[in-house]
Chains A and B, each alone.
Chain A
Amino acid sequence: MNICFGIWFTREEIGLSNSSIVSVKDLSYTFSKEDPSKSILSKVSIDVNAGEFVSVIGTSGSGKSTLFKLLAGLLEPIEGQIWIDGKQCDNRLGKVGYMPQKDLLLPWRTVMDNILLPIELIKENKKQKMVEIREWLSRFGLFEYENAYPNELSGGMRQRVAFLRTLMTGRDLLLLDEPFGALDSMTKRKMHSWLLELWGELQKTVLFITHDLEEAILLSDRIYILPSDSNQIIQEVKINLPRPRSSNFIYQSDFIEMRKELERLINNEG
């Protein structure tokens, strides 16, 4: 199960981390500085390579969202370092694409204008990007909805619009915080197939928070399990399923085996 790709192993052994797009070392965070025993994250180290899809799972309160906010630059760690693109940066705001659990589409903007929001903020040429966005919209099955308002869309559509907006930040690293968490299971399945189909050509790196083990295995190259007790160490699981994948993979026996293994790891930890 925990077999790693050769390349990954070697790089680790040599201690090189310059091909990793994000690298976190001994990261600690707590909401109350007076009481360090109540830490949310303690000595967390993770490493994500360019082009990887990595999931972070863990029980509620294990600090998944906090980890993301630290990476996005919304919070500052108490201890530890964060490297993005091989550089240790203090001001990380605007350096990674962040997609929160709620779609947070602005209700007074059309689909197109919502997606243009990050472009407006980085002050790029809107006209040029609109051509690109229209292409994406048709790939996302949203072509007719360019001028629709968010309240005219279904939950799945809104999530796709929010995803496209995150994509348009132009960042290589995307942090997706339970993007499908609020969807019903049917819509969620559709979103999985959609994302898997898309993945090959996205050329992005994704860090993905989820509660759903099936989702984590289906989508990811690797999974990190954040311990509920911050004194325990973070575990890593490699998913050796070939790509391109389809959502039918969940019925295969090795998929089910992997799921059992993952559940065992989580329960042992708990």
Chain B
Amino acid sequence: MKARWKKWTDDYGLFLLIVVLVVSVWEWIIRKGFIPSFILPSPSSIVHSLIDNWQILFEVHLPATLKEVIIGFCLSVVGGVTLGICMHFSRVVEKALYPFLIISQTIPLIAISPIFIMWFGYSIWSKIAVTILTAFFPIVVSTYDGLKLGGNEYRELLLTMGANRWELFKKVQFPTALPVILSGLKMSVVYCVVGATIGEWLGASEGLGYFSRRMSGNLQADAVFAAVFLLSLLGIVLFLLIAILEKQLLKNRFR
């Protein structure tokens, strides 16, 4: 128990110390009145706002955003991994689609999002479309690049054992790519939260992004910060979930 505590303080002690320090200085600055609280709310007022809006945040807005993120992420994973695999197997698909993938990342999201609203209306799908646009790319690229790692030596060895292309993929290339794909997923799930928030900004009736935008219109900076705090917490939790999944899937490899 003591050893675990020591390891924990070793890993996170410095980080927590800085957090406490920053929050204290921040609180002190606002209390002293150096910055007006509608520009930068004090940490204590953010906590107050969190508690005041507890019900609406946790029962309406957080679930709405979470739903968009999860649907968007799942569709991105299925589509992205499939496309990455297709590009790996077919040079034609690779040559035809790779440029489009890159182009999709150069489009300023904010600029194209109103079009999504036009296409999908104010339904959840306009938000999911923005989410997919942000989350898709890292998944495709990590899948495609990961599959290239398989190595020619392994390919030759398995071919001499009589393996066909599919067996080679299943036995060597996919397992080799898995750590890279999982890194892509970790990145992508955080982008999903960003994407969903932007989607909500542009037109929604619920969700943390919508809430923060409405509150900023009302100059309620503390409520905006409360929503932002929850969004960032959501990103961290999702990231950690994928990290746990990664640890489970790869636990045999790095011992």
Contacts and interface: CB of A to CB of B under 8 A. Distances in A.
Interface of A: 69, 72-74, 93-94, 96-98, 100, 102, 104, 106-108, 117-118, 120-122, 149, 151-152, 169
Contacts of A74: 156, 159-160
Given A96-B160, A117-B171, A149 B153 contact: no
B2 interface: no
B91 interface: no
A48 B201 CA distance: 75
Given A106-B175, A151-B255, A118 B161 contact: yes
Contacts of B159: 73-74, 93-94
Nearest to A152: B255
A93 B160 CA distance: 5
B248 interface: no
Interface of B: 153-154, 156-163, 167, 171-172, 175, 250, 252-253, 255
Given A106-B172, A149-B255, A94 B157 contact: no
A165 to B, nearest CB: 9
B29 to A, nearest CB: 52
Contacts of B250: 108
A117 B253 CA distance: 17
Nearest to A93: B159
A73 B160 contact: yes
Contact of A121 (B154, B156, B158, B252): B158
A74 to B, nearest CB: 5
B163 A121 contact: yes
B162 A121 contact: yes
A107 B162 contact: no
Contacts of A72: 156, 160
B153 A94 contact: no
Contacts, number: 56
Contacts of A94: 159-162
B252 A149 contact: yes
Mostly, the A contact residues are loop
Given A74-B159, A121-B171, 18 more contacts: A72-B156, A72-B160, A74-B160, A94-B159, A94-B160, A98-B156, A98-B160, A100-B153, A117-B158, A117-B161, A117-B171, A121-B161, A121-B167, A122-B161, A122-B162, A149-B253, A152-B255, A169-B161
Contacts of B161: 94, 98, 117-118, 121-122, 169
Nearest to A74: B156
B156 A69 contact: yes
A118 to B, nearest CB: 5
Given A93-B160, A100-B156, A120 B252 contact: no
A74 B159 CA distance: 8
Nearest to B164: A121
Contacts of B158: 117, 121
B255 A104 contact: no
A73 B160 CA distance: 7
A37 to B, nearest CB: 27
A181 B232 CA distance: 53
Nearest to A122: B162
Contact of A104 (B157, B162, B167): B157
Contacts of A104: 153-154, 157
Contacts of A151: 255
A121 B157 CA distance: 12
Contacts of A102: 153
B135 to A, nearest CB: 27
Nearest to B160: A98
B175 A108 contact: yes
A93 B163 CA distance: 9
Contacts of A121: 158, 161-163, 167, 171
B253 A93 contact: no
7 contacts: A93-B160, A98-B157, A106-B175, A118-B161, A121-B167, A149-B253, A169-B161
Given A74-B160, A121-B158, A169-B161, A107 B253 contact: yes
B148 to A, nearest CB: 17
Contacts of A169: 161
Contacts of A122: 161-162
Contacts of A96: 160
Contacts of B157: 98, 100, 104
A101 B216 CA distance: 65
Contact of A120 (B154, B171, B175, B255): B171
A175 to B, nearest CB: 8
Contacts of A98: 156-157, 160-161
Given A149-B252, A149-B255, A93 B153 contact: no
